[in-house]
Amino acid sequence: MLRAGASVVSAVIMAIAFPALAGVGLLADAVRVDAQAVPQPFPRPSDPQRPGQTRPQPPAAPPDRATPVREPAVVSEGQDPAAAASGAPSETMLGVPIYPGAQFLASYDAGQGQRYYLFGTGDTFVDVVNHYRTALRQRGDLVFDQPATHMFEVGRFREDAMAFPPGVTVKDYTWGQMKGYLNPKPGGQPARFPTIIQIVPVVP
């Protein structure tokens, strides 16, 4: 459910955020675990939703639409070399803090020269939101009630040069009896993440 008063930009961005990781071969894993498709809670921009409606689950994305691209390993100042080798971005690169203990999952081309980065954590949605409220010194906006999705915009959104507003978006993957977001790493632990964090780097 879209919260009343949420900005148009936030609504559009959240409608296309968090692509499913079916493209990395997880659909079969989901079927094997419990016959549940990889969570895809958001409709496409061409399928708008009015406040108060119940959002249906769209089908999983075709494999060629959500394939993450690994970037060359570049060690930033203060970054763990092992994290750099995995393609994980540094806080310096992102311009915002990474939630403590969060696992880097993948990065995606957002268009217009931007990328966005997904992290998974075993902590609750509420804990993650409260952490970022303190770290970013702002309350942010609850842009969706179901699934709970909280957005912290950091920096200025230049509509003519950006596809996404820079900032942090936190999403609850335990809504509607879901068991969490499937770990895209084969054999990775935990197998599912209750909470997913999306970071769009802050442009200087």
Whether the predicted pLDDT of 194 surpasses 60:
yes
pLDDT band (50, 70, 90) for residue 1? low
Classify residue 1: in a domain, yes or no: no
pLDDT tens sequence across 59-95 = 433 333 344 444 444 444 444 444 444 679 999 999 9
pLDDT tens sequence across 7-33 = 444 444 444 445 444 333 333 343 344
Number of other CB atoms surrounding residue 186 within 10 Å = 9
Q: What integer pLDDT is reported at residue 2 of this predicted model?
A: 54
More confident residue, 25 or 195: 195
pLDDT tens sequence across 37-58 = 433 323 233 334 434 444 444 3
What total number of domains does the chain contain? 1
Whether the predicted pLDDT of 34 surpasses 90:
no
Classify residue 121: in a domain, yes or no: yes
Q: What integer pLDDT is reported at residue 156 of this predicted model?
A: 86
Alpha-carbon distance of 150 to 137, in angstroms, equals 14
Q: What integer pLDDT is reported at residue 65 of this predicted model?
A: 39
Classify residue 3: in a domain, yes or no: no
Classify residue 2: in a domain, yes or no: no
Classify residue 97: in a domain, yes or no: yes
pLDDT band (50, 70, 90) for residue 96? very high
Contacts of 190 (CB under 8 A, 6+ apart): 122, 180, 183
User: Which one-letter DSSP state was computed for residue 182?
Assistant: E
Alpha-carbon distance of 101 to 123, in angstroms, equals 9
pLDDT tens sequence across 120-164 = 999 999 999 999 999 999 999 999 999 999 999 998 888 888 888
Classify residue 37: in a domain, yes or no: yes
Classify residue 23: in a domain, yes or no: yes
Alpha-carbon distance of 107 to 88, in angstroms, equals 9
Which domain covers residue 176, as residue numbers? Answer: 8-200
Q: Name the residue type at position 39.
A: P
Alpha-carbon distance of 196 to 157, in angstroms, equals 22
